[in-house]
A and B are shown apart, each in its own frame.
Chain A
């Protein structure tokens, strides 16, 4: 038999009937397996006890501001794109108890809860989501202050990536160079074909798990089917974000009239930042009990769309929807480069689908870019350079 390889990687074949064996093996190794499952009329991430919990035979239909589940005409396990949840809810939990304080007779006893991190096995991580994890690694682990909660959970996690075989009209990973092919950052990567999964090994722990599965080297025919399944996703991507000089484009247009236009629609509701797999903002609050003798210090997901988030020196710095939307988008697409050396956007399209009024950031960028070649708006834009220079 010919042993097929791709990018110097041995590719194995896992029969569809053996998917449960993969889930069981991970569970036997002490992992809490989490992955796609149907709940609340959507494909969300939750506990996976067996393949039966996967959204078998379901897909998602997405457009700006709209998401619907739809029956597929096959029994695919991973035949959907991305849903409202992202893996950050496991690595950077929405609410974390970071410390407690108890009043003593003479002062305060402070302590940090020393809990064992959960050991997650993520099943079904898409290429854009692998890219998002890399970005959050940089945010939480790459600077002088390492986030201990994220660090422990990330180090303990096992990642089973799944290559996309279809795309939504909201997807634009090809513009952000993050997908749809999973190239690194996983322990195992699967590509679903009709009767099973092509499996690539991405790490030594991945290799150890694969060694205990009933896998065969993939045949060239199976490889070919995997290639065409993945190509289908590439072919379906229609949305584009032109990232040429995007940092300067946005930062040179901080007074552009488009910000006012988008603010008429933006609800400042925080949905885009909550569903974004890279948004990492939080606030830390001291939560005392009624007596004031016990205080919990909690860290919770927060958002630049909240007025209080920019509260400083007695006033919110960004006291309009316009300034908050601009802050979010310029950080995500422009100043993220200065801060972390990459874009903060992975092109997953969640902010577009889950915006209740369907604001599409790629269109907002396109509007600003288009005006650069339009002399009528050009004058407004050039005056904005002056204003920016004074700020």
Chain B
């Protein structure tokens, strides 16, 4: 039986031999980070051969000791800027890469290490290192986009390997990456996951968090803790008010907001407000 809904489209241009384009040259750079995001690339086990045939992996020290010099078509940049040396090095990366894609919460928001932005880093240095005078570090941890022009940001702690493959596929095929920008709530609803905040009273950042993880945490009865950072036009003010009004202590909301994306502007502002409320209510010592 012929399928009436099936049809053939033939383009005249494709009848001639397709010109073979050179594979884009890919480099992976690490800054202040845990390596988890670049490992997501190696974690593409089923697709790794396809990736390797679609792009030339020219510089990826985590994966191969064969390191070829630039320029590169695509640089995947992991990690945040925390040292003067890295602040210079990221400029070099920008110069030798046509497209810069930052990957993960460290690179896009400053990462968990940006908690130092609320502290005196000199105090930490003295606590941790026997000879702090040998350490050259900045007072803050900042995202890559604070230092150079970034072409595309992939959120997450760690990033989603599906999203990484989507971006690589888009770059290889010269199309726009298709990455949804809605909140985590929509993903929960599509999966049939029941809202943990409404049904169980668990504080969940899902309504203000960018999609990408596949809404994992709520499907295991825990609240979203915002790994993918704030969604555009997030209303953190209203959500934190709701948490506070439904009996959550301000101090318990602080670690929720001051997490991998603590320094994303929307989460930072919300956590600072919650910290002030905490002080007002309890005279607690959160700054």
Contact = CB atoms under 8 A, between A and B. Distances in A.
Contacts of B234: 267
Nearest to A287: B178
A107 B11 contact: yes
Contacts, number: 158
Contacts of B3: 111-112, 114
A337 interface: no
Contacts of B217: none
Contact of A300 (B165, B190, B233, B242): B190
Interface in A92-112: 94-95, 99, 104, 106-112
A44 interface: yes
Interface residues of A, number: 59
A302 to B, nearest CB: 8
B12 to A, nearest CB: 9
B242 A270 contact: no
B198 A110 contact: no
Interface stretch (A349-357, A362-370, A376-384): A349-357
B233 A112 contact: no
Contacts of B256: none
Interface stretch (B29-37, B61-69, B107-115, B168-176): B168-176
A94 B180 CA distance: 15
B277 interface: no
Nearest to A46: B192
A321 interface: yes
Contact of A301 (B183, B189, B195, B197): B189
Contacts of A42: 194, 199
B183 A308 contact: no
Contacts of A65: 198, 242, 246
B248 interface: no
Interface in A320-375: 320-321, 353-358
Interface stretch (A126-134, A151-159, A219-227, A288-296): A288-296
A357 B199 CA distance: 13
Contact of A264 (B168, B181, B221, B238): B238
A42 B195 CA distance: 9
A307 B232 contact: yes
Interface residues of B, number: 54
Contact of B238 (A67, A267, A320): A267
A41 interface: yes
Contacts of B47: 290
Contacts of B195: 67, 84, 271, 354, 356
A43 to B, nearest CB: 10
Q: Which of B14, B199, B200, B241 has the most CB of A within 10 A?
A: B199
B165 A290 contact: yes
B50 interface: yes
Nearest to B189: A274
A91 interface: no
A104 B191 CA distance: 34
Contacts of A267: 183, 207-208, 234-235, 238-239
Given A84-B195, A110-B6, A290-B169, A95 B181 contact: no
A84 B194 CA distance: 7
A270 B182 contact: yes
B21 to A, nearest CB: 12
A265 interface: yes
B54 A356 contact: no
A20 B242 CA distance: 43
A9 interface: no
A39 interface: yes
Interface in A284-323: 285-292, 300-303, 306-308, 320-321
Contact of A94 (B5, B173, B189): B189
A265 B237 CA distance: 8
A266 B241 CA distance: 12
Interface string B1-27: 001011111110011000000000000
A72 interface: no
Interface in B82-96: none
Contacts of B241: 357
22 contacts: A39-B194, A40-B199, A44-B194, A69-B199, A84-B198, A94-B189, A94-B191, A107-B8, A108-B8, A110-B7, A110-B8, A267-B207, A270-B189, A274-B185, A289-B169, A290-B169, A291-B54, A301-B189, A306-B182, A307-B181, A354-B198, A357-B242
Interface of A: 39-42, 44, 65-69, 83-85, 89, 94-95, 99, 104, 106-112, 114, 264-271, 274-275, 285-292, 300-303, 306-308, 320-321, 353-358
Interface of B: 3, 5-11, 14-15, 47, 50-51, 54, 165, 168-169, 172-173, 175, 178, 180-183, 185-186, 189-195, 197-201, 204, 206-208, 221, 232-235, 237-239, 241-242, 246
